[in-house]
Amino acid sequence: MLCAFFFFWMFTAPSWAQPNAPQGFYPSSCRHADLPQLLSKIDSRLAQDLAGLPKVNRKFLAKEYQERADSLKSEILGENFIQDSLWTAWFQNILDEILKSNPTISAHDVTLFLSQYESPNARSVGEGTLVFNVALLPFLKNESQVAAILSHELAHFANDHGNIALHHYVNTLYSPETQKQLKNISKGKVNKTQRAIDLMKGMAYKSSRHSRFKETEADSLGFVFLSNTRYQLKEAIGVLKILDSIDQHTWPVIPYESIFNAPGFPFQDSWLENSASSGLSSQPAFHSEIFASDSMKTHPDCEHRILLAQAQYDALGQPTGGQLFIQPESNFLQLQNYAQYEVIEGLNRRGASGRALFRALVLSINKPDDSYLNGLIIKSICEISQSQRAHKLRNVLDLPDADYSDEYNRFLKFVNNLRVSDLEKMAYHYALNHWAQSSGNEGFVFAAIWSAYLAGAKESFEVWKQKYLDTYPNGAYIQYINELD
């Protein structure tokens, strides 16, 4: 029954949003009010693209275009994109400024989505859709840098880089020469794999799907786009410098003992011991930070691009100097702050409880009384414990990896050292510790009720449940709370 409830909860629970909460962070809605129009726009753009396809390899090209459109629709239907006007209006204003200043761009075809994905990145899908991961925002210094990134992605679209790469891949794969070579390899009897790998080199279109194609060309045109706006052109160089060092980001050390020590459940040093790791894993082959593995840093040769951008700046110049902000700076700062929460919310929404918990713990170091974070910490621990009970822990929690940062690996080992009963008691005692500050938050109260249920704390469960029912008679979690009875 408990497992059934858990999985029911995982897939049907509402967003962590609490529209009635009196204070704190409120996650944005990702439900599209104009969903039919949005899907229709993608379909009509697809139809237009398909109609314009050349005869050669048309079938294979059409399949790729179709897949691209389906993938985008799937992301939209999966509610991966933020729809809150606080966000969309701010970004749309920047996009409008660029489009208005650059009438050569087909503005009608451009759609901007803001995603909660954790990777600090932005991409051009290829048919006019741009995706900006809000995780990138905390790394940026001003609105001009956001504009520089959007200009770069618009340049990819304007120069049709996505479609060119797609056509290049399909036409290469289905060219008579490649087909002849593939046929020979296929019919051959020896060394087929190595021959295929050799042939495959340079054809990896899908692995670079997010338009890492002709980056310097996009830099250059993006620079021109930006130069036509009121934004400060020099920030295009500044943003490249930031991207160049984005993978040097380090996490603060999480003080687990001070966070989780409770009078009724004292912290145990053994939870932080590293007894599970072997000698093999202590010899990592890679050191890159996983959160930046798909970041813009992976665009080729940032240093070289910075030099080119500097030369272009020197040539173009910007007599007026430009503005760092066109919109109030406070809006930028507010969204920068919210971006970290949105990333956590996105992880939580997608069931990545371990990563959501880690980021929430990091953020809570300086915000120990944040009701949203406290609720999410409890909820994530409960989800991890229930996944472990169902032997599905790998669905919600990563394993340590040399690719991850030391602090994230430390977190993973900490959680892995905990027994199910430890996790459940930890969540409950954390709820007890934070009840006074956070019980005004609906999500927190629900998470506290769930933790009390799992820890077998009947009295707290009844008291907290009654509090919820009294305070939120039409609350978002009524159904789930009743399931716990």
Q: Site residues (CB under 8 A) for other proteins?
A: 60, 63, 173-174, 179, 182-183, 185-186, 189-194, 196-197, 200, 204, 206-207, 275-281, 283, 285, 388-389, 391-394, 399-403, 416, 419-421
- Least Å distance, CB 212 to other proteins, is 15
Measured from the CB atom, is 1 or 280 closer to other proteins?
280
Measured from the CB atom, is 48 or 274 closer to other proteins?
274
CA separation for the pair 140, 234 (Å, rounded)? 14
- Least Å distance, CB 401 to other proteins, is 5
Token pair 């944005």 in the structure block, residue: 28
CA separation for the pair 5, 11 (Å, rounded)? 10
Measured from the CB atom, is 165 or 221 closer to other proteins?
165
The secondary structure of 259-304, three-state, reads HHCECCECCCHHHHCCCCCCCHHHCCCCCCCHHHCCCHHHCCCHHH
> Which sign does the torsion angle of CA 425, 428, 431, 432 carry?
negative
In the three-class reduction of DSSP (H, G, I as helix; E, B as strand; rest coil), residue 138 is classed as helix
Measured from the CB atom, is 198 or 217 closer to other proteins?
198
Contact status, residue 402 vs residue 285, Cβ threshold 8 Å:
yes
- Least Å distance, CB 388 to other proteins, is 6
CB atoms within 10 A of CB 222: 26
- Least Å distance, CB 276 to other proteins, is 6
CA separation for the pair 337, 149 (Å, rounded)? 19
- Least Å distance, CB 291 to other proteins, is 16
Token pair 């008579």 in the structure block, residue: 176
Measured from the CB atom, is 400 or 440 closer to other proteins?
400
- Least Å distance, CB 379 to other proteins, is 20
User: Minimal CA–CA distance to 476: which of 388, 352, 375, 386?
Assistant: 375
User: Minimal CA–CA distance to 126: which of 35, 261, 218, 10?
Assistant: 218
- Least Å distance, CB 168 to other proteins, is 14
- Least Å distance, CB 413 to other proteins, is 10
Contact status, residue 468 vs residue 475, Cβ threshold 8 Å:
yes
Measured from the CB atom, is 185 or 224 closer to other proteins?
185
User: Minimal CA–CA distance to 415: which of 306, 295, 272?
Assistant: 272
Amino acid, single-letter form, for residue 302: C
Measured from the CB atom, is 204 or 311 closer to other proteins?
204
Amino acid, single-letter form, for residue 109: D
Measured from the CB atom, is 351 or 400 closer to other proteins?
400
User: Minimal CA–CA distance to 175: which of 193, 157, 156, 202?
Assistant: 202
